[in-house]
Amino acid sequence: MGAPEQPKQQEPGTEEIKRNPTLDNIQQLGQVNTPSGESNLFCLTIIGQVEGHMVLPPQNKTTKYEHIIPQLVAAEQNPKIEGVLIILNTVGGDVEAGLAIAEMIATLSKPTVTLVLGGGHSIGVPIAVSADHSIIAETATMTIHPIRLNGLVIGVPQTFEYLDKMQERVVRFVTRHSQVTEEKFKELMFTTGELTRDIGTTVIGGDAVKYGLIKQVGGIGEAIKELNRRIEERKQQMNGGGFVQ
Amino acid sequence: MIHYSVVPMDVVFAGMENFVPSYIDIEHGGVSMQVEPLNGYQARIVRLISGNPQHYLDGRYAPGTIINFSPAL
């Protein structure tokens, strides 16, 4: 079959500036970027706080969702990118922003794999389960705990109902995108006596797999292998279907 | 906004009252962006405001990158 694999239409429009990016990096950051030009994978890192509607003070290391979302759009659109690897080490953050990122990852048509390193806490949990395949490092932890309201809270039953509704969004997303049951997830969320300052559970490595939250324990090797396998599978499917992207 | 994090709220929002960033919107190399001027000739990228998704994959425009820029006087 002489069909071309990928049409070469959209070149990213990046040629306007006649500067040497490597030299810039050395001057500004004291380091050289490793050549990444020819990778068919897009690596997205979600670290620190997921920053949402409020700009957080500078002591926070943040992942800006308004940058992540268009990056995912670009990854979906760019024909050179065949798979997306999401690396998580987050302490949580804004619910809306976190769920937005999770929904974006879940609806990408290209193969996606998430790797939880260090921690994927709170709103990191839905992001961790959003991809086609999820991997957790043996030492990585995920804290599952209830959502709290901040700011002015009115002590009326409606407040609790609102909170419950917000929490339900997270619970529903996680149970829909992983093997964990709603009962189990809520049980983990409302466990007492496990966390020192809160209710909830810290799930470590293999336990996350045992509860059905994450699919596999592993590291970067497993993640890349799985992603490559899925990319191959998708290529074959598309060629078998008689069309190219 | 609902904050869902293992880091206590008071730690995350510490210094919020004194945090008054000064950002300006500029266009740099054909990409519109919001930057924080550092001195007369440099600025740090805060966020991109571009409609071209491919700009967001360009490492030269990642938030936090310092660009050469002098405000038009």
> Quick one: which of B60, B57, B33, B56 has its CA closest to B46?
B33
Q: Which CATH architecture has domain A41-49+60-240?
A: Alpha-Beta Complex (3.90)
Q: What is the pLDDT of residue A148?
A: 83
Q: What is the pLDDT of residue A184?
A: 94
Are the Cβ atoms of B63 and A95 closer than 8 angstroms? no
Render pLDDT for A185-221 as a digit per residue (tens, 0 to 9). Answer: 999 999 988 887 788 999 999 999 999 999 999 999 9
Residue type for position A142:
M
Determine if residue A216 is left, alpha or beta; phi over 0 gives left, psi from -120 to 50 gives alpha, anything else beta.
Answer: beta
Q: pLDDT-derived band of residue A3, with 50, 70 and 90 as boundaries? A: very low
In A, which residues are within 8 Å of B14 by CB distance?
57, 59
> What is the distance in angstroms between the Cα of A1 and the nearest Cα belonging to chain B?
31
Assess whether pLDDT exceeds 80 at residue A86.
yes
Q: pLDDT-derived band of residue A32, with 50, 70 and 90 as boundaries? A: low
At CB < 8 A and 24+ separation, what contacts does A20-25 make? A21/B59, A21/B60, A24/B60
- Going A203 to A209 to A210 to A211, the CA torsion angle's sign is positive
Are the Cβ atoms of B30 and A16 closer than 8 angstroms? yes
Render pLDDT for B6-35 as a digit per residue (tens, 0 to 9). Answer: 888 888 888 888 888 889 999 988 899 999
Residue type for position B68:
N
- Among this protein's residues, is A53 annotated catalytic? no
Q: Quick check: A109 and A96 in contact, CB under 8 A?
A: no
CA atoms of A112 and A110, how far apart (whole Å) = 6
pTM exceeds 0.90: no
Assess whether pLDDT exceeds 60 at residue B45.
yes
Render pLDDT for A126-151 as a digit per residue (tens, 0 to 9). Answer: 999 999 999 999 999 999 999 987 77
Q: pLDDT-derived band of residue A1, with 50, 70 and 90 as boundaries? A: very low
In A, which residues are within 8 Å of B64 by CB distance?
none
- Among this protein's residues, is A39 annotated catalytic? no
CA atoms of A199 and A189, how far apart (whole Å) = 7
Among A121, A133, A134, A145, the one annotated catalytic: A145
Cα dist from A22 to A26, A137, B43, B56, B62, whole Å: 6, 32, 18, 18, 14
Mean pLDDT of chain A: 86
Assess whether pLDDT exceeds 90 at residue A115.
yes
Count of C-beta atoms within a 10 Å radius of residue A245: 12
CA atoms of A37 and A58, how far apart (whole Å) = 31
In A, which residues are within 8 Å of B2 by CB distance?
94-96, 147, 149-150, 166
